[in-house]
Structure 1
Amino acid sequence: MQCVICKYGNTQPGFVTVTLERDHTIIILKGVPAEVCNNCGEYYLDTAVTEQVLQRAEVEILRYAA
């Protein structure tokens, strides 16, 4: 597929790191399968992978309290 961001590269299967941020919490998921642009590095997740990423992001976040 041609990259919709840079319009020059084509995507290839690969793995990426997805960073999600909500309020003051950051969740990092490494090794997520994606289609990655060979020119600019933009990545695209398919529907099934997106659903899995969002499910795994629903974790309990605990704040440190002294």
Structure 2
Amino acid sequence: MECSLCKSGNTNPGHVTVTLEKGSTIVLIKDVPAEICENCGHYYLSTEITKIVLKTGQEAVKKGAELEVVKLQVA
């Protein structure tokens, strides 16, 4: 698909690290499947992956973590 940010690159499947921050909690989620623009590097997550990423972040906040690094496990 064409990148909606730079308008000059196409996306390809790959993996990214997503950083979430809420209050004093920072969560790094590694190996997240995404569509990545070959030109600018902007990435797009599917609805299913977005739900998993957000749930992972919510769990870290709930635990009171300051910094959590997680490798995404997609079933």
Q: TM-score, with normalisation over the residues of structure 1? A: 0.89
Unpaired stretches in structure 2, ≥5 consecutive residues: 67-75
The within-5 A match list for 1:2-13 is 2-13=2-13
Gaps of 5+ in 1: none
Alpha-carbon deviations, 1:6-58, whole Å to 9, x = none? 11000000000000011121100000000000000000000000011111112
Q: TM-score, normalised by structure 2?
A: 0.79
Residue 62 of structure 1 deviates from its aligned partner by: 4.3
Give the structure with higher Rg (CA): 1
| Larger relative helix fraction | 2
- Determine the structure 2 residue equivalent to 1:31: 31
1:61 pairs with 2:67: no
Residue type at the aligned position of 1:61: G
Show the counterpart of 1:21: 21
Secondary structure in 2 aligned to 1:9? coil
Percent of counterpart pairs with the same letter? 52
Higher RCO (CA 8 Å, separation ≥ 6 residues): 2
**Aligned-partner Cα distance in 2 for 1:6–1:62:** 35
Residue type at the aligned position of 1:21: E
Count of residues in Structure 1 that have an aligned counterpart in Structure 2? 63
